[in-house]
């Protein structure tokens, strides 16, 4: 198999400035894809990861989008295609948290997480699918979470959004399989990123104790799975939810 199985493909990664998104950008670029790095606030970090991608000999651009805005998704897809060419890979990774017990959760905190973590992924996929259907090829990878598989106390909004991504993945997979397009999800567990860096020592120890591998995962491990699902070796996989959680949800 080619060392650069995605050579010439064009990918869009939302939330690409840090964590799993950043690792996904670099993994896809390393496999030969041109990459649009979607971000909202971290412009310097986005530019840095794009520069790292370009250093590997591919094209990379940064595109700002507030995915809470319903109109932003279609614009982001259009701008990415205009800059790099027709999209063949979309990684819906952007997300946010507004944790709190359900009894105390505001409607605003519920809606904010659903809008960005779930609705934006639907809108981006809908916009990208038009071009993929014309080309007869596409890969959509949604970044869900172990919280969407088994739920997590204090994260009713986040768990619902990530579970919704799984349903979206399976429905879209059935809709577009006959047109050469696959739609899959990854479900990371506790991954060593800026988000988990906010855990207290006690919370971190408790999390590690629950993981059969007895350690946090890395963003690169999730990105490797994303890159595999984006490539030709995964051409007969669709509607799957791949856990990258060290056995947490086993």
Taken in order of first residue, the domains within the chain and their CATH numbers are: 10-242 (3.40.50.720)
| 82 Cβ contact partners less than 8 Å away, ≥ 6 residues apart | none
- Nearest-Å Rg of the Cα atoms of the chain is 17
Write the pLDDT tens digit of every residue in 94-110.
Answer: 999 999 999 999 999 99
pTM, rounded to two decimals: 0.95
Residue 174 reports pLDDT greater than 80:
yes
Catalytic residues: 158
Asked whether the beta carbons of 170 and 239 are under 8 A apart, the reply is: yes
- Mean pLDDT of the region 10-20: 97
Write the pLDDT tens digit of every residue in 221-234.
Answer: 999 999 999 999 99
| 25 Cβ contact partners less than 8 Å away, ≥ 6 residues apart | 13, 16, 35, 37, 49, 50, 53, 60
Tokens of 198: 């906010």
| 125 Cβ contact partners less than 8 Å away, ≥ 6 residues apart | 90, 92, 140, 142, 168, 172, 183
- Mean pLDDT of the region 181-200: 88
pLDDT band at residue 3, thresholds of 50, 70 and 90?
confident
pLDDT (0 to 100) of residue 127: 97
């Amino acid at each position: 198999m080619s060392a650069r199985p995605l050579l010439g493909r064009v990918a869009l990664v939302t939330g690409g400035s840090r964590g799993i998104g950043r690792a996904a950008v670099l993994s896809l670029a390393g496999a030969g894809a041109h990459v649009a790095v979607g971000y909202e606030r971290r412009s310097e970090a986005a530019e840095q990861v794009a520069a790292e991608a370009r250093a590997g000999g591919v094209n990379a651009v940064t595109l700002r989008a507030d995915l809470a805005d319903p109109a932003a998704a279609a614009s982001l897809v259009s701008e990415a295609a205009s800059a790099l060419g027709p999209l063949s890979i979309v990684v819906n990774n952007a997300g946010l948290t507004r944790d709190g017990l359900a009894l105390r959760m505001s409607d605003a905190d519920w809606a904010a997480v659903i809008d960005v973590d779930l609705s934006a992924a639907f809108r981006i996929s809908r916009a990208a699918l038009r071009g993929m259907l014309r080309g007869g090829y596409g890969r959509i990878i949604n970044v869900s979470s172990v919280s969407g598989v088994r739920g997590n106390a204090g994260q009713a909004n986040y768990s619902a959004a990530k579970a919704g991504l799984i349903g979206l993945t399976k429905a879209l997979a059935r809709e577009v399989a006959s047109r050469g397009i696959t739609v899959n999800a990854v479900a990371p567990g506790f991954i060593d990123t800026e988000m988990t860096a906010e855990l207290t020592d006690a919370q971190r120890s408790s999390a590690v104790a629950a993981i059969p591998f007895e350690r946090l995962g890395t963003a690169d491990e999730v990105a490797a799975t994303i890159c595999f699902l984006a490539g030709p070796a995964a051409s007969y996989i669709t509607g799957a939810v791949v856990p990258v959680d060290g056995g947490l949800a086993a």
